[in-house]
């Protein structure tokens, strides 16, 4: 297990450099004149241009120059310096402010998926082909079919504006209550998937041979379901939810955009829109790390949950 | 067995002259979207204390379903027990409540299954699974259950039982896994052990070991055993009597010696003739032509008639009923005498 984790960590280093390189290349390849992009509409004086050219090593051209700047960037990245955005703010500071909001939102979404999705999935799995099972099937297909870009404004309009059950937008220092509606919207997709997955897994495990054995031992039905079946059925569900938490942490661009939540996704969206290269690359670099780490945690968790899995 | 935690069953016991376990005219069908499959069509057999009954038949003959009906672990739906009686110590289990039947499971009648790998829960250690029966059913403490689980694993001759108690099913070999299964079934000192093809998933050498173990345990613990198998070779050394099943019926019923010597049903005869024999040179192996019937469209008359070398018009028209041949032998064949005389020749 230890060797497996070590190997995975080494792979993560490669994956990290690979993804940052690609994002860095994509972000800056499109720019004609980075100095003009930095300055925006304002004119740039010769002195300023000379200063910036030297600061960002823009005099080195071609592929060599690109790698020169990339390694420059990685060097400061490894020292914990994400650099400045085009607006002059420290990217580290931006993330520090955005991260807690995104984490809160992700946890709300995950809680919604677990509390409603897994519970309903277990019930639907036990009562296969019942009215409950069929109605959850229709509802989940509906949710899975509606993209967030439609669902989020609809929820905002009806629940926030029309019936005023929730604050329609979150604002700069969002409370738990203000994050609740976006959390539910964000979590609804994970909820639907978790429900379908749990339902299938429970239904499948109820038919397993070991359930027949448990019955022949004379165990009560409740114990067979809650101990034997659930312990097995939840292995894929927990794995899914782990990966999903990684996804949710990487920022919900659309949800945060619609509800005006100053989280990671919101800042990333703004960075892309304003062609703020350093900001986008900075955020994505951190997201890559979050994603890689959460995936490793899920794989390790999987081995803990299922004794048949052994990593060598 | 020398432990006092499992209480002996009250002396209600078997009524005078009755059998320990008796099936009377059991009918089970499976109702599916494609139609109704008549899986058990009037099965009657009995089991006395301390004896071994082998139930023999091909896949789909209804032998496992019968066993699961006795245990009360059929999936209903699709299975429906249409009629019949399952008398245990003179009491009809089919009229009991689910809770009463649950009490019988494991404690009075226990069952072991064909494929121990899938029959054991993959995510719990074997000691935990054996101990679960003791904790849940006999009210043992965690520590007592653990100690008893080690004893049981010793009893079924798992080497280093105390060390292996925390291992998971997949860490055992096939034979050892089946021993775990047996240990689990023995936990509550059942009076009847149903072994549903206990050796089918195992290597031939391991098969013999498991069969010997089962025979020894049955004798030492004075249980009665129903041994379900499709393998005539497995049966010979272990069983007292044999019931041969075909299309959900007991077609022949006899003690082992006389059945092997002179089968009185063409199906049994066909089965025996399809086994290669060590003592006959240059023998041509015969097969039973055709396939087992589709249980949704069982042939009229005798269900074996489309495959039977003895077939006559009467077989197509009339369902044969048990023909008593003496010595407690029965055969569901219109020409039972003839077949037996042919076989004895």
**Smallest Cα distance from A245 to chain B, Å:** 25
For residues A41 and A140, membership in a common domain is answered with no
**Does the structure show a pLDDT above 60 at B256?**
yes
For residues A191 and A54, membership in a common domain is answered with no
CB atoms closer than 10 angstroms to residue A14: 9
**Contact assessment for residue B63 and residue B57, using Cβ atoms and an 8 Å cutoff:** yes
Q: Does A13 fall in a domain?
A: no
**Does the structure show a pLDDT above 60 at B53?**
yes
For residues A46 and A126, membership in a common domain is answered with no
Query: Which of helix, strand or coil describes residue A292?
Result: helix
For residues A56 and A158, membership in a common domain is answered with no
For residues A155 and A219, membership in a common domain is answered with yes
Q: Is B132 on the interface with A (CB under 8 A)?
A: yes
For residues A254 and A295, membership in a common domain is answered with yes
**Contact assessment for residue A125 and residue A201, using Cβ atoms and an 8 Å cutoff:** yes
Judged by CB atoms closer than 8 Å, whether chains meet at A213 and B103 is answered as no
- Which pLDDT band, with edges at 50, 70 and 90, does B345 fall under? low
- The string of pLDDT tens digits covering residues A55-90 is 777 776 677 777 888 888 888 888 878 777 777 788
What is the domain range of residue A71? Answer: 31-81
Among A208, A228, A308, select the one facing B118 at the smallest CB separation.
Answer: A208
Return the domain boundaries, chain B. Answer: 21-239, 245-276+287-344
- Calculate mean pLDDT across residues A205-226: 91
- Which pLDDT band, with edges at 50, 70 and 90, does B17 fall under? low
Question: What CATH number should be reported for the domain holding residue A160?
Answer: 1.10.3720.10
DSSP string, B2-20: --SSSPPPPTT-PPTT--S
**Which residues 39-78 on chain B approach chain A with CB closer than 8 angstroms?**
68, 71, 73
For residues A69 and A203, membership in a common domain is answered with no
3-state SS, A157-200, equals: HHHHHHCCCCCCCCCCCCCHHHHHHHHHHHHHHHHHHHHHHHHH
For residues A205 and A271, membership in a common domain is answered with yes
Of A127-136, B98-107, B165-174, B317-326, minimum mean pLDDT range? B317-326
Orientation of helix B266-273 relative to helix B336-344, angle to 10°: 30
Give the pLDDT of residue B54: 92
Q: Is B177 on the interface with A (CB under 8 A)?
A: no
- Residues B212 and B189: their CA atoms lie apart, in Å, by 19
- Calculate mean pLDDT across residues B303-307: 87
Of A23-27, A160-164, B283-287, minimum mean pLDDT range? B283-287
Kindly report the backbone phi and psi dihedral angles of residue B115, in degrees, each rounded to the nearest multiple of 5, phi listed first: -105, 100
Cα–Cα distances (Å) from A137 to A37, A111, A127, A185, in that order, read 50, 21, 12, 18
Nearest to B308 by CA among B331, B339, B344, B337: B339
- Which pLDDT band, with edges at 50, 70 and 90, does A299 fall under? confident
Classify domain B21-239 at the CATH superfamily level. Answer: P-loop containing nucleotide triphosphate hydrolases (3.40.50.300)
Give the pLDDT of residue B14: 53
β-sheet bridge partners, residue B323: B331
**Does the structure show a pLDDT above 50 at A264?**
yes
Give the pLDDT of residue A23: 84
Tell me which DSSP letter residue A228 carries: I
For residues A43 and A175, membership in a common domain is answered with no
Give the pLDDT of residue B16: 57
**Does the structure show a pLDDT above 50 at B4?**
no
Judged by CB atoms closer than 8 Å, whether chains meet at B123 and A307 is answered as yes
Q: Tell me the two tokens of residue B339.
A: 């077949």
What percent of chain A stands above pLDDT 70? Answer: 95
What percent of chain B stands above pLDDT 90? Answer: 24
Q: Which residues contact A142 (CB under 8 A, 6 or more apart)?
A: none
The last residue of one of the domains, among A22, A53, A81, is: A81
- B35-47, strands of its sheet edge to edge: B35-47, B21-32, B79-88, B91-92
- The string of pLDDT tens digits covering residues B292-301 is 888 888 888 8
**Does the structure show a pLDDT above 70 at B1?**
no
Among B123, B133, B170, select the one facing A217 at the smallest CB separation.
Answer: B133
Q: What is the dihedral of CA A9, A11, A12, A14, to 10 degrees?
A: 140
Which residues of A lie closer than 8 Å to B, measured between beta carbons? 208-210, 212-220, 223, 228, 231-232, 235, 305-308
Element at A71 (helix H, strand E): helix A62-78
Judged by CB atoms closer than 8 Å, whether chains meet at A218 and B113 is answered as no
Query: Which of helix, strand or coil describes residue B227?
Result: strand
Cα–Cα distances (Å) from B67 to A9, B45, B194, B206, in that order, read 53, 11, 7, 24
The average confidence (pLDDT) of chain B is 85
For residues A110 and A56, membership in a common domain is answered with no
What's the pTM value of the predicted model, to 2 decimals?
0.81
**Smallest Cα distance from A311 to chain B, Å:** 15
- Which pLDDT band, with edges at 50, 70 and 90, does B7 fall under? very low
Q: Which residue has the tokens 């006959």?
A: B280
- Residues B247 and B249: their CA atoms lie apart, in Å, by 6
Q: Which residues contact A223 (CB under 8 A, 6 or more apart)?
A: A214, B136
Give the pLDDT of residue B205: 84
**Does the structure show a pLDDT above 60 at B2?**
no
Based on the structure, what is the number of domains in chain A?
2
DSSP string, B38-72: EEEEEEEEEE-TT-EEEEE--TTSSHHHHHHHHHT
For residues A117 and A233, membership in a common domain is answered with yes
- Residues B206 and B175: their CA atoms lie apart, in Å, by 6
For residues A123 and A267, membership in a common domain is answered with yes
Contacts of A306 in chain B (CB under 8 A): 122-123
């Amino acid at each position: 297990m230890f060797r497996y984790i070590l190997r995975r960590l080494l792979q993560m280093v490669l994956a990290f450099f690979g993804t940052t390189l690609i994002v860095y290349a994509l972000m800056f390849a499109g720019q004609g004149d980075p100095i003009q992009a930095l300055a925006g509409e304002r004119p740039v004086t010769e002195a300023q241009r000379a200063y910036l050219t030297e600061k960002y090593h823009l005099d080195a051209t071609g592929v060599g120059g690109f790698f020169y700047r990339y390694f420059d960037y990685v060097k400061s990245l490894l020292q914990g310096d994400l650099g400045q955005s085009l607006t002059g703010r420290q990217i580290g500071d931006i993330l520090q402010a955005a991260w807690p909001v995104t984490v809160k939102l992700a946890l709300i979404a995950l809680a919604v998926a677990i509390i409603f999705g897994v519970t309903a999935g277990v019930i639907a799995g036990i009562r296969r082909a019942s009215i409950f099972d069929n109605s959850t099937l229709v509802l989940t297909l509906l949710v899975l079919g509606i993209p967030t870009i439609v669902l989020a404004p609809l929820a905002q309009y009806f629940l926030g504006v029309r019936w005023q059950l929730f604050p329609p937008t979150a604002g700069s220092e969002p409370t738990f209550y203000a994050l609740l509606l976006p959390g539910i919207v964000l979590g609804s997709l994970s909820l639907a998937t978790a429900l379908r997955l749990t339902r299938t897994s429970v239904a499948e495990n109820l038919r397993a041979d070991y359930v027949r054995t448990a019955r022949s031992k004379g165990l009560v039905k409740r114990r067979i379901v809650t101990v034997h079946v659930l312990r097995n059925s939840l292995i894929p569900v927990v794995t899914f939810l782990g990966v999903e938490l990684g996804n949710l942490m990487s920022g919900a661009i659309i949800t945060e955009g619609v509800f005006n939540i100053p989280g990671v996704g919101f800042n990333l969206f703004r960075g892309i829109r304003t062609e703020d290269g350093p900001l986008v690359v900075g955020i994505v670099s951190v997201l890559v790390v979050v994603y890689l780490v959460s995936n490793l945690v899920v794989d390790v968790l999987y081995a803990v949950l299922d004794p048949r899995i052994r990593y060598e | 067995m020398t432990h006092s935690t499992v209480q002996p069953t009250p002396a209600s016991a078997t009524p005078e002259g009755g059998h320990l376990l008796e099936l009377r005219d059991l009918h089970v069908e499976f109702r599916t979207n494609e139609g109704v499959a008549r899986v058990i069509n009037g099965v009657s057999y009995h089991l006395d204390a301390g004896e071994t009954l082998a139930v023999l038949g091909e896949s789909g003959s209804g032998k496992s379903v019968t066993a699961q009906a006795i245990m009360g672990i059929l999936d209903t739906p699709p299975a429906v027990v249409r009629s019949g009686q399952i008398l245990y110590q003179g009491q009809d289990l089919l009229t009991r409540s689910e809770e009463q039947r649950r009490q019988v499971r494991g404690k009075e009648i226990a069952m072991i299954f064909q494929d121990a790998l899938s029959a054991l829960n993959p995510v719990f250690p074997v000691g935990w699974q054996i101990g679960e029966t003791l904790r849940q059913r006999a009210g043992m403490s965690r520590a007592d259950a653990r100690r008893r689980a080690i004893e049981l694993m010793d009893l079924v001759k798992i080497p280093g039982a105390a060390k292996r108690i925390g291992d998971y099913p997949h860490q055992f070999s096939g034979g050892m896994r089946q021993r775990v299964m047996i240990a689990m079934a023995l936990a509550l000192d059942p009076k009847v052990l149903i072994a549903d093809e206990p050796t089918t998933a195992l290597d031939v050498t391991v098969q013999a070991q498991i069969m010997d173990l089962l025979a020894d345990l049955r004798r030492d613990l004075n249980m009665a055993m129903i041994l379900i198998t499709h393998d005539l070779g497995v049966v010979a050394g272990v069983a007292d009597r044999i019931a041969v099943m075909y299309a959900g019926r007991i077609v022949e019923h006899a003690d082992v010696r006389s059945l092997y010597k002179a089968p009185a049903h063409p199906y049994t005869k066909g089965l025996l003739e399809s086994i290669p024999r060590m003592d006959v040179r240059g023998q041509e192996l015969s097969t039973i032509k055709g396939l087992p019937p589709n249980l949704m469209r069982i042939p009229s008359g005798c269900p074996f008639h489309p495959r039977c070398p003895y077939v006559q018009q009467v077989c197509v028209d009339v369902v044969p009923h048990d023909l008593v041949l003496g010595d407690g032998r029965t055969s569901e064949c219109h020409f039972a005498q003839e077949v037996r005389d042919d076989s004895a020749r």
